[in-house]
Every structure is written in C-alpha cells, then in structure tokens.
Structure 1
Amino acid sequence: MLLNVPSLEQKLTAELSCKDFSRILIDQPYEYKSIFLHRIQPDQNNARFFPAVIVPDQLAYQIATRRLSKSQLIERLDCQDKVVIGKSCILNCFHKSSFEWKKANINITSIIELAANISVSELIQVPTIYPLDSNSYQLLTGHRRFFAMIYANGIDGAAHFKVYSQKPSLPRTKQFQENASREDLPQYGKLLAFQEAIIELETLSAMRQRTEGKGLTVREMASLLGISMGAFDNYSVLTRYPAVLKAYQNGNSVPFTTIKKIVLTEERRIRKKTGQTLLNVEHKRTINKRIHDTLNNIKSPVTVEKKKRYRLGTLESPELMKFILTENLLALDSGIDWNDLDWEHPKAVNEAFEHVVNYIKEQKIR
C-alpha cells in the first residue's frame, strides 16, 4: 500500500501556519550525537552523491585481501557502474576508461585522503543527518566525509554527527546553505545544488505571495542560502544554460567567473544583433549552442557572404559606349526612379542598367 507523501507545498503550509517564513530555516532543532554508521543511509538524490554499494566489514576484508575477484564481486552485489566501499576497501566498478570511471577515481582518491585524516584527527565540520521511521538516519550533508568514515572505520564503527530532530522543511536549501562556504566541493555539484535549492525557495516564495501578498526578494533568497548577492548572481547566470552544467559535469574546471563572462558576452551579442532586451526561447537556444561550442573548443562555421556582382553587359557599338561614358544616365527620361532604386540589390541595379541601355539604343542612337 502506497503512503500519501505530503508535497513540499503541503509541508510548507503547515510550517508557515506555525511560524514566520524567515524562521523556517533557523528553527531547526539539532544536537550532536555519536551514531553507528550502519544506521545511516546516503541520499541518492543529493547532488554530491555518487552511486555506491556499502558492504559489511567482513566482506570488505575479503575484497581488500583479494579473496574475491572483481567479476565475482559484480555478480554477487550487482554493482556494475557503482563504487564498492567498506572498511579499508574501495573499488571502482565502472567500465574502465569510461568518463564515469575517471570521475569515480577522482572521488576515490579524495575519499582515501580524507579517511587518512579522519583516522588521526577529528572532523572540524561533521556530516548532518535526520531520523527516518525505520530507526535509521538519512544523510543530509557530508557524503564524501561519510564515505571516508566508512573507509576508515567500517559500518560497525561509530562517528559524531549533527542530528536534526526531523527532516528540515527545505532540505535542498539546507544542504546548499551548509556547504556554501566549502571550497573543496566539485563545481558541478555546487551548481546542481543551487538549482535544487532555488526550486524550494521559489515554492516558498509563491506560498508567501499567496498568504502575505509578497514573494521573496532576490536579497532574501540569497540570505536564506547563506551567500552574498554577488555569489547569488554568479550562480544564477551559470545555471541559465544547460551547456554550462554539462561542461562542469564532464570535468571542466574553468573558474566560475570565466564562464560567467562567456555567458554574459553571448547574451550581449544576441541582444545587440536582435535589438531586443528580453531573450526568447530561440535566442537562448542559440546562446546555449555557442556556449557549448566555446567550452568544447568547437569553432562555429564561418559564413562567407556572397559577393555582390553588378553586371554592365556587352556593348555592340563604339557610339553606345561613348554615350554611356560621357552622358549622365541618371538624368535621362528613361522611366527609372533612381532615388527609389535599391542599390544594394545587384539584380535590381543590373535590370535598371539593361533598361537604360535599351532606352539609349532606341531613343538616342539610331
């Protein structure tokens, strides 16, 4: 039987009936506790999560001592395209040399280094969790730190966590808020986390508009996210186009400020070309394509403008040539309105000249 899970709007309605919107991220009771790691599950929808299979300590020992081959492990755990992690063991089961395999290896190196630090010192910023109905906990922030704890201590080990009394009202916003100052987090994860947090805040804004007659301002959103207005603007610009997120997902490490300049330059170029301030869907599609090509070093095909060719034709007599060269053709009563003629259009000019030549043949030269 499926349970009716309350929507974000329903949850926020209940929250806002009890407190002011500005308190919704502040009034989140928590305490610090030591929790066994096997009682905690990662959030597979978190932007910082990578697909992992956590194994018991005994199986981890067998893997670490090579008593199981990689193929046997994949068949036993159904862990193809995942990372197997346990005490003193971490195994990349993605297809070798694939892009995902390379990304997983970067994460694995980072986790092993962090685990080495954990084994000799305490974490300054512990992961955050909240309770589930099954006497277990859901990881909210600190996935890399959690995996490092598993590697260092195994699932039977215990560690210190920041434990919320219940699931936060805006979990994605809380995740972004608690990780906003972290410099070591992947850029793609930061952008994805911002997008997810903005969805929550836009829902909150719509509900406040409905109840109080005014939505959240940009400044209020930035404050709730725990970032400056400048940082908010950076995130907003960088998440406007899929090509930017795709580039960072594929390992691009160009600083945010550099990519932001590329985005704004392309937007200015389109506005200047079209003379429009507001960009429509087609404009944004064109900008996205140009950003993609720039970030992938793909040169846009150069369109060579077709040369304009004006044709004077062949003249049959010296008298006709002399007349054309010595007389003011524009002053002739040939029936051509030279002021109305489109001189930038070769076909129109050529036809007008041909008409004048025929007029000269008939009226001036016999």
Structure 2
Amino acid sequence: MNNISLEQSIASALNHSEANRILIEQAYEFKSVFVNRIKPDSSNPRFFPAVFIQDVHAYQMRERKLTKAQLVKLYNAQDKVLIGKGCIVNCLNYGTNEWKKANRTIESILELAENVAVAEIIQVPTLFPIGEGDYQILTGHRRFFALIYVNGVDAASHFKVYEQCPVLPKTKQFQENASREDLPQLGKLAAFGDALLEIEALNKIRKQKGFKALTVRETAGILGISTGAYDNYNVLTRYPAVSSAYSDGCSMAFVPMKKLILKIEQEYKKEIGATVLNATNAQEVNRRIASYLSGEKNAEHSKKQTRNYRVDKLVSTNALMTLLKSDVTTLDTGISWNEVDWDNHKQVKETLTTLVEFLNNRD
C-alpha cells in the first residue's frame, strides 16, 4: 500500500463503501503473469524462506551436475529453502524446529505439485501489483510454490490479480486459511491474530466517523466464520503457549485444545477462589498450558498449590480450648461440613471465619 497507513486506507475506503462491503468491492481480473515477477509475502503465516532457482540450475541439480553445497553458495541460501523446476532443497539447520517445519511445508507443496502436474488449479493464487511490473502474493503461497516446482520460474501461469492491494489484506488471507481444512493450525491462528488487528483498526476509524464498532456477529461475518468459530479462535489465541505448541508440531485439533484451555482456566480459578483472571493469573495459566502440552511431569503443577490459612482472633481461652480439644464438626455451627470444598481456598477461609465467630459468640 505504498506509504499509506492501514488506517488511512480504511478511512478512504469507508468514504465510498460500508464496512461489510469493503472485502467484496475489490476490482480484479484473471490474467497470465510470469512467475519470476511474483514475490511471496514474508508476513503471511504460510510464508517460508524460499529462494527461487533458475531453471538451468534446477536441471543441473536434478542431473547431479551441481551439488547442494554449490547451490547454497551460488544463491546464498544458507538457512533457506531452494525451490525450482522439479527441485526443492531444505537448507535450514538440520534437525531444528525450523528445519522440521520447513519439511512439513515441503511435503504439502509436493502433494499439491502432483495435482498441478495433471490438472489445473481450481482456486488460483491471488496477487496485487507492487510496482515496476512486479506482483506480491496475497493468498495461495503453497499453490504458487507448487507451480514453480512443476513449471519452473521462467513460465507464466494464470492468477487472480487485484487492481491494488485490498484494504484488509490480512483479513482476506484469514478468510482463505479458515475455510481450508488441510492447513496447519498455527497458520490459522496467526492469520486470525493479523486479521483481528485490521478489524480493530476498522472499528477505530468507524468510531471516529460517528459509527458504532462492529458487533461480534458482524466481525465473524467479515472474517467469514460462525460466531462459534470466532469464540474458538478467541480462546485459542488467548495464551502464547498454544501457538508455541503448534509451532513445535502439536497436532491437537482446535476443539480439544479449547476444552483443555478452559479446563485449566477453571481449575486455576477454583484454586485461587477467583471468578476473573488478571494478567498475573494469565501468566500462570499460560505456564500450566505449556507444561501440559510439552508433557512435562512438573510436581508444581501436578500437586495442589500450598496455601496458608490464618485463624481470626479468638476472644477467650474457652474459645481456644474448644477449638483445640473438641471435634468442632459436631457443634451446631451452621456449617455444612460435607459440602465444604477443601480445594477452594476462598471457601475454606470463609468456613474458618464462620467457625471463629461461632466460638467467640458462645462465651
């Protein structure tokens, strides 16, 4: 969007369109574009550090006339992925998480390439111009890489090309990620976070123009998901430990992950006797989620947290003797001892207060 800020772009769009039309009223056309004029979007959750190989070098690599080391030196591709016609090489540090993530992406690209080789892409990648005859990918990064693998960098292919960068590009990307069942969870969560930042900017401009902020239902509609799915994403992006787990290869589906998060939250609220979690509490919940997902056997998390209790002031020795020598659970204190939740810190404190008041009032 050149030097125009996101907020300026949204403000301009709102002068000509309603908020729910911003993502619809985007002029585009289908056209052929040479692959070597297209740039990936490094801020896209589907991006990985690829370097494109000239067709001649890809051929030499396939024919074993060039080694991996020679290609890495030729393209300065250390810690990147080389990709060209019939050739894709992971040059990241072997065995690291980044190397493993790149390998998973490579596998999905090769699967797509098998389909591209025998049939046309039904949903072509989308682009927008960035000047001097070049374009940037908006959606369809893996499909784009598959095209390079099948046809090489000197070929032309068919793309959906917008006249200019859409007003809410990250929201566009999320719409596609959310509707694709085959995409990894991490990419969907990252896309949701990016899209939400755009929606927040949209709401800010709407308020400045005298309009109300979008409701949850309207926001979910713009994102192209149900309100239930919107709530799922909100819970899943609440704690950094979740994204970190997916980044490290966690394959747990979204619904079980949400249930786990809510369970850990509820257990911690019960433990500290709170109904709302503050920032410090959230850090502890995040730590417990990380521990659970990493499979750590942390005694601190597997055992009940030690709590201190303070007995209120007893006004007489008789009250003290009754407390120390008698079975207070048999006294007519009005306390339903069988209903006390001894794991609930707040409830135990309230029970002790009631008991002390009873003993003091007996004298």
**Could you say if the C-alpha distance between residues 177 and 342 of structure 1 is closer, same or farther in structure 2, counting changes exceeding 3 Å?**
farther
Question: What is the deviation of 1:262?
Answer: 0.9
Equivalent position amino acid for 1:115 in 2 = A
Percent identical across equivalent pairs? 51
Given that 2:177 and 2:187 are in contact with CA atoms closer than 8 Å, whether structure 1 keeps it comes out as no
Match of 2:153 among 144, 152, 155: 155
Equivalent position amino acid for 2:101 in 1 = K
**Could you say if the C-alpha distance between residues 110 and 213 of structure 1 is closer, same or farther in structure 2, counting changes exceeding 3 Å?**
closer
- Per-residue CA shift, 1:303-360, capped at 9, x if unaligned? 686999xxxxxxxxxxxxxxxxxxxxxxxxxx9523257958xxxxxxxxxxxxxxxx
Q: Which residue of 2 aligns with 1:311?
A: none
Q: Which residue of 1 aligns with 2:214?
A: 216
Quote the RMSD (CA, aligned, Å).
2.2
Given that 2:23 and 2:168 are in contact with CA atoms closer than 8 Å, whether structure 1 keeps it comes out as yes
Give secondary structure in 1 for the equivalent of 2:131.
Answer: coil
Q: Which residue of 2 aligns with 1:206?
A: 204
- Per-residue CA shift, 1:133-170, capped at 9, x if unaligned? 12111100000000000000001112111111110000
CA radius of gyration, larger in: 1
**Could you say if the C-alpha distance between residues 73 and 210 of structure 1 is closer, same or farther in structure 2, counting changes exceeding 3 Å?**
same
Give secondary structure in 2 for the equivalent of 1:252.
Answer: coil
- Per-residue CA shift, 1:26-45, capped at 9, x if unaligned? 11111111211111111111
Q: Which residue of 1 aligns with 2:9?
A: 11
Q: Which residue of 1 aligns with 2:332?
A: none
Distance 1:170 1:243 in 2: 27
Question: What is the deviation of 1:300?
Answer: 3.0
1:337 and 2:317 are equivalent in the alignment:
yes
Distance 2:273 2:209 in 1: 39
- Per-residue CA shift, 1:9-52, capped at 9, x if unaligned? 11111111222222111111111112111111111110110110
Q: Which residue of 2 aligns with 1:62?
A: 60
After TM superposition, the structure 1 stretch with the greater mean CA deviation from structure 2, 254-263 or 58-67, is 58-67
**Could you say if the C-alpha distance between residues 25 and 146 of structure 1 is closer, same or farther in structure 2, counting changes exceeding 3 Å?**
same
- Per-residue CA shift, 1:234-283, capped at 9, x if unaligned? 11100000000000011100111111011111221222233333211111
1:141-290 paired onto structure 2 within 5 Å:
141-290=139-288
Distance 2:294 2:223 in 1: 31
Q: Which residue of 1 aligns with 2:358?
A: none
- Per-residue CA shift, 1:54-99, capped at 9, x if unaligned? 1211121122222222222222211111110001110110122222
Count of aligned residue pairs for this structure pair = 316
Structure 2: gaps spanning 5 or more residues: 310-314, 325-363
Structure 1: gaps spanning 5 or more residues: 309-334, 345-366
Q: Which residue of 2 aligns with 1:123?
A: 121
**Could you say if the C-alpha distance between residues 17 and 304 of structure 1 is closer, same or farther in structure 2, counting changes exceeding 3 Å?**
closer
Distance 2:163 2:127 in 1: 9
Query: After TM superposition, what 4+ stretches of structure 1 lie above 4 angstroms from structure 2?
Result: 303-308, 340-344
